[in-house]
Structure 1
């Protein structure tokens, strides 16, 4: 079966319009949100970010003890683990003097390797940071993308990297497209392609195999 990712994107974009992601006021807030959202809902992340608001500058986070940080992000769940991950991330960020423009000058592949070497930063979190904070066109593989593509009838690779590379091979290198595609897939999974799908009015209905097993 031919995988037409551009067609999926076009249909979602036509239906939902531009999403303007990531929901954050600054790239640094986006980075913190990408770690806080691990294994929880965005609603809980919002609460944690509200508590973190007075400290949403790298230097301020750096000065907090791990226990102080954990208490501030308690609402996000797994708060001790996430506080430790944020601190590990900050050690890496500090190497670049907390300067995002400096980081953006790095080669994309080297940068991704560096991010993946940080304790607690897996491929999905690394790619979200690359895409939304560091302006790197990259496809984010998450549970929503897997669910949607499977139901459409696509047999996607189990490996994260192979899945990502397969999609990227067939799409133009376009930052806006990748930015919107991830956000549109999330929106579609919440609106129509839920655990129990709502197929009525689905913008992908005409190209979907409706595989639900």
Structure 2
């Protein structure tokens, strides 16, 4: 019998195809983008990334005055808070000479713990960095994943890691799968499984209980 979570992935991949995520030119841009996208949409992040463009080197961002950094990322919202989070991340990144290759050599558990210990880096942000910057196979739990899995009929754990581990227990430890799965769930939430779902022609309709969010 085909694992349930694998079936979700297969149906989404068949419908949408490869997503080629994360939308960034470099791992460093990806990591900064993952901080900027907290509590906002990608359009606002894109504007901030364009403003940052002329300064997009780790050493420059690390030594950039925090007040000036905040103004450059203003479009992302909560810009003063996010500037502090970027600075905290840069302090950690500097310890490895801004070298993602060195960081990739750290085992998954240790690296995840280190990222979560950085001010302003929660579990979701840490996990997207792990997948898209450091090439570690891990399932990213976000609001879209919770919405889709609930509507499909799965009573997933309320805790972040409980949800994540339950999915990972069933899926093979393949980076490409986790890379695509998160991107596919985001795309599906935007196209069909919106806050007001569009169930007609949904690629998951035949396996969906069509449950609405709990009030």
> Per the shorter chain, which TM-score range?
over 0.9
1:103 CA displacement? 0.3
Q: Which runs of 5+ in 2 are unaligned?
A: none
Match of 1:16 in 2: 16
TM-score normalised to structure 2 length: 0.97
Tell me, yes or no, if the aligned pair for 1:116 and 1:126 is still in contact at 8 Å.
Answer: yes
1:198 CA displacement? 0.3
1:55 CA displacement? 1.1
Matches within 5 A, 1:179-194: 179-194=179-194
Match of 1:151 in 2: 151
Q: Distance in 1 between matches of 2:104 and 2:137?
A: 12
Match of 1:34 in 2: 34
Match of 1:62 in 2: 62
1:176 CA displacement? 0.3
SS in 2 for 1:199: coil
Match of 1:162 in 2: 162
Q: Distance in 1 between matches of 2:179 and 2:111?
A: 18
Q: Distance in 1 between matches of 2:206 and 2:24?
A: 34
Match of 1:107 in 2: 107
1:3 CA displacement? 6.7
Deviations 1:76-125 (A, max 9, x none): 00000000000000000000000000000111100000000000000000
Q: Distance in 1 between matches of 2:176 and 2:62?
A: 32
1:59 CA displacement? 0.5
Matches within 5 A, 1:85-164: 85-164=85-164
Q: Distance in 1 between matches of 2:3 and 2:177?
A: 17
Q: Distance in 1 between matches of 2:205 and 2:3?
A: 16
How many pairs does the alignment contain?
Answer: 212
Q: Distance in 2 between matches of 1:56 and 1:186?
A: 26
1:136 CA displacement? 0.4
RMSD after superposition:
0.9
SS in 2 for 1:196: coil
